Structures are given as structure tokens and as C-alpha cells.
């Protein structure tokens, strides 16, 4: 049965002022680090997924902007022979909600780091992580948690086992639920069942602490994932010494959200007690090649609508009355 | 209630009847006096933890929304609702089968051969998934309770329902003709609470698992 909720919430004085202030502060932060704002049109005429708000403009089916990254990628691939290295964006996206309490209209601010083919991505990934580490301070959050993940930790073993389609989706869904017993159920009778279940248990065995990466040693795919482990290890060594006060850094080996999109390191920002992540992103090196451009890219998006909700429901999580 | 009070959603009904005695004498034992009342928020033996008693079909929503940080619910309900929550453990108890059941003498082949098969069920998603795998089509008759009456009164040719001992089926002259899947109690957690406050939620999950294991 469809659930009716206020999907297009109006912002009254307090939240409207907060939105304006946060958008300005975050765009200011990005600009200070060399990111320049682009503003793709609110109406998209291509790549119209089911979750978009679609309507007819005369005889043409169009959609309201449903994702900044996709909208920007189209704009950049069409209009730029070489990519700008750093772009930022701010505005609303419109998506049909997965959960009934989610709004259709969502306010976001984000940034993207784009590189020509062949350029090392490691420094760009660190640059984005450092930038995301500054966000809680800009927003006045008392404390926050940054989760580091890596999409390849799940993607590569699945590909190595030749697992695609529904079966791979079932394994990813089980990992998303952090349920290794579901991985075992999904793969019952498959030759890779034992290996992938052991891998799932390794990924889920630790959520934080300095030994988290060591959990990968227990995986049957430890050797296959050596490069990814080294990449995460280097990132931790680079980020831990510059961690701001009140920000915790954790490794989340079983982060599979957006696995169909992300290809490398992933970043997620939480506040203690928040029910949803407040910012998320990662590396997505397949997007631009799919549009005919041999560029690599990574970025993250700050979900301002969730922060506005949090300021209303949990003002105690912020430094001062928001 | 403050943000510091941790809430565990416990199921009413069959699963709850199995669960409550398992927790007796543990740090998560439910307050006996409150259980006798009509109150749905029950103190436990641990002051900072309270229990919510909820219908199985409502429970995943409370956990997914983060109102309750943990919950116990049947995997059949989880599969049917597909809410965004974490499933930390298969608790093993409350085991039952999700089965296609028809009147005695009606075979699976006979049901397959029907040009217009009607199936009554509380589990439309699992039933549709099975029909799709089998290459069958059927009219689904959605029911929320007492599905066993449907074949007897001509509302449907068969039902898809949970079977534990088979006693209710037998009382209505029905038999299992095919097992679609199996269900058991699962420990679930709110994604946000578990990922953003593991230091609070994981010890509680361990406490609950320990309490249930001690009584297993």
C-alpha cells in the first residue's frame, strides 16, 4: 500500500535560513580549495531512471534533476574537451523515496574531482577525504564519524567467481544487511559458497579499531585484494595524524551502498545517533568512459535535507542552537 | 524516554510467546507486572533498556526508522517487507516453513493445471517470487489472518502460509503440498544506530545474543 507523507516539505524561517547558511558555507569551503561551481539545469532530457520525477514537456519525456553527479557528467562530457579538475554544486534533486519517510525534494551540496586518464587517483581520493573531514566543523556538528570503505572489496571477488546478475545482487543485499548467514543462504549449492561466505564473515568481523584491515587476512581473497588493502592502509596513515578533534575515523569493509556505481574508495559521514548518513561519496571511474570520455572521477555529496531534519530533531548534536 | 534509553522491539504473538520465557532471569528479562498490563512499552531488568511489544508486520518499520535500535522478527516478515535494516543474526528459534497448502487430495500438479489458480496469502511477495520461478500465474487473494478458511469456503484453491507443527492445517483438512521457504527469528538493528553508535548498540546486541544463547 503506498504511504503518503509530506514528500515536498516547505521550509519555514528557521530551516530556510539554515539551508542558505550551510549552502553558502560549504560552497565557500569548496571554492577555497579550488572547486568552482557548476549549475546543471533542473530539467534533464536524457538518462531518465524509474526513480526520477518524469513528465511530458509537449511530446518529450523529461525529468527533474534526480542526481547532480549524472547531470554534471552529461554537462561536462558534452561541453568540455578536457575536464575541469574540480567542480562543486548546490541545489535540489528530486527522487522517488525508497523509504516512506524520505522527501522527494532533497537539498544537496557536493564536489567532484575529475582527472584525465592515467593520472594517479590516490592523491585525489585523499584530497576528497580531507575535505570531507572539514565538513562537520563547517556545519557545527559536535562530533562525527567518517567511514572509509572500498567498493572493490566486494566487487572483485564476485567478478573473480564469475558471479553476476541476480545471484550477485543477492550477495550484495545480504552484505548490505550485514548478514553473512544470508550470503550462505543465497549461494546454497554454488561452488563459491564457502569462499564468499568466509569473505563476508571477514568483511563483517570488525567495524572499527586499528586491526580492521587485518580482518582481510582471513579472507580467501586476501591476495586478490592486496592493492585495495594497501590503498586503504596508506589512506589511514595519511588521515589519522590530521584528524580534527571530535571526528572519528573508521574502516567499514562491508560498505556496499552504491556498489553498482562506485569502483574504488568510498566515504560516508555520520553523526552519533543520526539515523542516516549525512554525506556520502567515493570513486566512480566508469561514469565518464560510459559517456565517451576517458576521465576518472570521485566526489561526495552533503545531504542538507537530512541535516535540516537532524537540526530539528536532535539540536543537541550541534554546537549551538541552529 | 530520552535519547539515551535504548529500545528493543519484541514481537507479539507466536514468536513473542517463544521469546519472553527465553529472556526470563537474564539482564533483558521483561518486567512481569508490566507484561500483565496493557502497556506496550515494557521495562527490562536493565534500567537503560526498554522493550516495545509490536505486531510483527509493524516491527521492521520501527527499527528501520531508528525508533527502536534493535528488534527480533521472523525472516518471513523481513523478506515480505524488504525494509532497510541490518540483520545481525539468525537466532534459530521460531523455525517454520512457508508452504503451499491445499485440501487433502489436491496435488501440486492439480494446482499447476488449473487455468485460473487462486492463492490466498499473507505473503504476496514471497508467493509472487515462487510463481515467477515456477513459470506460473495466479490470482493472489490478500488476507491478513485465518488464511486456512479460504480453501474451505471457496475463496481460493490453496493458500501460502507459515506452517510450524501443521496442527492448524490438520484441523482444517489441509496439507502441505510444497515448501516455498523456511523462516526463523532474526536479530535486526537500525542501520543508522548500528553504524553511528556501535559502542552503544553492539554491546546491547551481544547482551541479547548472550541471553538467548544461555537459554538455548
Q: How many CB atoms lie within 10 A of CB A129?
A: 21
Contacts of A268 in chain B (CB under 8 A): 195
Query: Could you say which of B66, B85, B195 has the minimum Cβ distance to residue A270?
Result: B195
- Strands (DSSP E) found in chain A: 36-37, 43-44, 54-57, 60-64, 86-94, 105-116, 144-150, 247-251, 265-270, 279-283, 295-303
Same domain for B89 and B104, yes or no, is no
* One domain for residues B113 and B189: no
Query: Using CA atoms, how far apart are residues B48 and B8, in angstroms rounded to an integer?
Result: 11
B157 Cβ neighbours under 8 A, 6+ residues apart: B102, B106, B111, B114, B117, B118, B119, B151
Give how far Cα B201 sits from Cα of B5, B10, B11, B24, B207, Å: 11, 16, 19, 21, 10
The minimal CB distance from A273 to the residues B88, B197, B202 is found for: B197
Find chain B residues with C-beta within 8 A of A270's C-beta: 192, 195-196
User: What would the grid cell of residue B181 be?
Assistant: 521457504
Question: pLDDT tens, position by position, for chain A (322 residues)?
Answer: 344 555 778 899 999 999 999 999 999 999 999 999 999 999 998 878 888 999 999 999 999 999 999 999 999 999 999 999 999 999 999 998 877 678 899 999 999 999 988 888 999 999 999 999 999 999 999 999 999 999 999 999 999 999 999 999 999 999 999 999 999 999 999 999 999 999 999 999 865 666 789 899 999 999 999 999 999 999 999 999 999 999 999 999 999 999 889 999 999 999 998 889 999 999 999 999 999 999 999 999 999 999 999 999 899 999 975 4
pLDDT value at position A48?
Answer: 85
- Specify whether B24 is located in the same domain as B78: yes
How high is the pLDDT of residue A2? 45
CB under 8 Å to B167, separation ≥6 — which residues?
none
Backbone angles phi, psi at A217, to 5 degrees: -65, -25
Place of cell 565538513: A135
Number of structural domains in chain B: 2
pLDDT of res. A184 = 93
Contact B66 A275 (CB under 8 A): yes
* C-alpha A277 chain-centroid distance: 9
Are residues B195 and A99, on separate chains, in Cβ contact within 8 Å?
no
B49-54 vs B6-11, strand pairing mode: parallel
Residue A178: which of B86, B192, B196 has the nearest Cβ? B86
Domain ranges (residues) in chain A: 1-151+260-322, 152-253
Q: Is residue B119 one of the residues assigned to a domain? A: yes
Q: What is the pLDDT of residue B125?
A: 95
Q: Are residues B129 and B200 in the same domain?
A: no
Tell whether A162 lies on the interface with B, counting CB pairs under 8 A. Answer: no
Distances (CA, A) of B174 to A27, B14, B120, B160, B191: 66, 20, 13, 11, 40
CA B200 to chain centre: 26
Q: Identify the H or E element spanning A95.
A: none
Sole residue written with cell 548498540: B201
Domain that holds residue B89: 6-94+184-214
Question: Do B25 and B126 lie in a common domain?
Answer: no
- Give the per-residue pLDDT at A211: 76
CA distance A76 to A136: 29
Q: Does A132 touch chain B (CB under 8 A)?
A: no
State whether residue A282 is helix, strand or coil: strand
Which parts of chain B register pLDDT below 70?
1-3, 215-216
Among A181, A182, A15, A19, residue whose Cα is nearest residue A92: A19
- Helix, strand, or coil here: B198? helix
Distance CA B152, CA A129 (A): 63
User: Within a domain: residue B175?
Assistant: yes
Q: Which residues of A touch B198 (CB under 8 A)?
A: 207-208
| Nearest-by-CA chain A residue for B202 | A207
- The minimal CB distance from B196 to the residues A101, A177, A272 is found for A272
Indicate if B38 and B70 belong to the same structural domain.
Answer: yes
A19 in Cβ contact with A308 (< 8 Å) = yes
3 state SS of B171: helix
Alpha-helix residue ranges (DSSP H) falling in B56-214: 59-64, 75-81, 108-113, 124-134, 149-152, 167-171, 191-196, 198-214
Chain B residue closest to A252 (CA)?
B195
Cα–chain-centroid distance for residue B1? Answer: 27
Contact flag B87-A271 (C-beta cutoff 8 Å):
no
Note whether residue B1 is domain-resident: no
Do B122 and B88 share a structural domain? no
The SS3 of residue B34 is: helix
Q: Would residue A20 be called left, alpha or beta, if left means φ above 0 and alpha means ψ between -120 and 50 degrees?
A: alpha
CA-nearest of B203, B206, B188, B207 to B67 is B188
Total residues found in chain A within this entry: 322
Backbone angles phi, psi at B183, to 5 degrees: -135, 150
Q: What is the CATH number of the domain that holds B65?
A: 3.40.190.10
Phi, psi of A36 (to 5 degrees): -115, 140
In a domain, B43, yes or no: yes
Fold for A1-151+260-322, please state it.
BirA Bifunctional Protein; domain 2 (3.30.930)
- Confidence at residue B215, expressed as pLDDT on a 0 to 100 scale: 65
β partners of residue A247: A144
Amino acid at each position: 500500500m503506498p504511504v503518503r507523507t509530506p514528500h515536498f516539505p516547505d521550509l519555514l524561517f528557521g530551516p530556510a535560513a539554515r539551508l542558505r547558511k550551510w549552502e553558502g558555507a560549504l560552497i565557500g569551503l569548496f571554492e577555497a580549495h579550488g572547486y568552482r561551481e557548476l549549475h546543471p539545469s533542473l530539467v534533464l532530457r536524457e538518462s531518465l531512471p524509474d526513480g526520477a520525477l518524469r513528465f511530458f514537456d509537449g511530446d518529450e519525456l523529461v525529468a527533474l534533476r534526480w542526481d547532480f553527479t549524472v547531470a554534471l557528467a552529461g554537462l561536462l562530457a558534452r561541453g568540455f574537451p578536457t575536464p575541469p579538475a574540480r567542480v562543486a554544486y548546490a541545489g535540489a534533486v528530486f527522487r522517488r523515496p525508497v523509504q516512506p519517510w524520505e522527501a522527494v525534494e532533497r537539498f544537496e551540496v557536493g564536489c567532484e574531482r575529475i582527472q584525465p586518464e592515467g593520472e594517479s587517483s590516490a592523491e585525489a581520493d585523499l584530497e576528497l577525504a580531507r575535505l570531507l573531514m572539514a565538513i562537520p566543523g563547517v556545519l557545527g556538528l559536535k562530533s562525527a564519524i567518517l567511514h572509509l570503505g572500498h567498493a572493490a572489496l566486494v566487487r572483485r571477488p564476485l567478478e573473480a567467481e564469475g558471479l553476476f546478475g541476480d545471484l550477485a545482487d543477492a550477495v550484495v543485499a545480504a552484505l548490505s544487511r550485514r548478514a553473512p548467514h544470508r550470503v550462505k543462504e543465497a549461494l546454497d549449492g554454488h561452488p563459491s559458497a564457502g569462499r564468499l561466505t568466509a569473505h563476508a564473515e571477514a568483511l563483517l568481523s570488525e567495524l572499527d579499531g586499528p586491526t580492521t584491515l587485518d580482518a582481510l587476512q582471513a579472507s580467501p581473497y586476501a591476495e586478490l585484494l592486496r592493492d585495495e588493502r594497501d590503498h586503504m592502509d596508506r589512506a589511514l596513515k595519511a588521515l589519522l595524524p590530521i584528524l580534527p578533534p571530535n571526528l572519528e575515523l573508521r574502516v567499514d569493509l562491508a560498505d556496499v551502498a552504491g556498489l553498482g556505481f562506485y569502483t574504488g574508495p568510498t566515504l560516508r559521514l555520520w553523526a552519533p545517533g543520526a539515523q542516516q548518513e549525512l554525506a556520502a561519496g567515493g570513486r566512480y571511474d566508469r561514469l565518464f568512459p560510459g559517456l565517451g570520455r576517458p576521465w576518472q572521477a570521485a566526489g561526495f555529496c552533503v545531504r542538507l535535507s537530512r541535516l535540516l531534519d537532524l537540526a530539528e530533531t536532535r539540536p543537541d548534536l550541534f554546537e549551538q542552537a541552529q | 524516554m530520552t535519547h539515551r534509553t535504548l529500545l528493543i522491539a519484541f514481537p507479539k504473538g507466536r514468536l513473542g510467546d517463544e521469546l519472553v520465557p527465553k529472556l526470563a532471569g537474564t539482564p533483558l528479562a521483561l518486567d512481569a507486572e508490566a507484561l500483565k498490563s496493557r502497556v506496550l512499552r515494557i521495562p527490562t531488568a536493565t534500567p537503560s533498556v526498554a522493550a516495545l511489544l509490536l505486531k510483527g508486520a509493524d516491527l521492521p518499520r520501527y527499527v528501520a526508522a531508528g525508533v527502536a535500535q534493535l528488534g527480533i522478527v521472523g525472516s518471513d516478515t523481513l523478506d515480505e517487507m524488504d525494509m532497510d535494516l541490518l540483520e545481525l543474526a539468525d537466532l534459530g528459534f521460531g523455525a517454520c516453513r512457508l508452504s503451499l497448502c491445499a485440501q487433502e487430495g489436491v496435488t501440486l500438479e492439480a494446482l499447476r493445471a488449473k487455468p485460473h489458480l487462486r492463492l490466498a496469502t499473507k505473503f504476496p511477495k514471497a508467493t509472487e517470487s515462487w510463481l515467477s520461478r515456477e513459470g506460473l500465474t495466479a490470482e493472489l487473494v490478500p488476507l491478513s489472518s485465518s488464511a486456512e478458511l479460504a480453501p474451505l469456503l471457496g475463496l481460493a484453491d490453496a493458500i501460502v502460509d507459515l506452517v510450524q507443527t501443521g496442527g492448524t492445517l490438520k484441523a482444517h483438512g489441509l496439507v502441505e503440498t510444497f515448501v516455498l521457504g523456511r523462516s526463523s527469528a532474526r536479530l535486526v538493528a537500525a542501520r543508522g544506530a548500528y553504524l553511528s553508535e556501535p559502542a552503544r548498540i553492539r554491546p546491547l546486541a551481544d547482551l541479547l545474543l548472550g541471553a538467548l544463547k544461555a537459554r538455548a
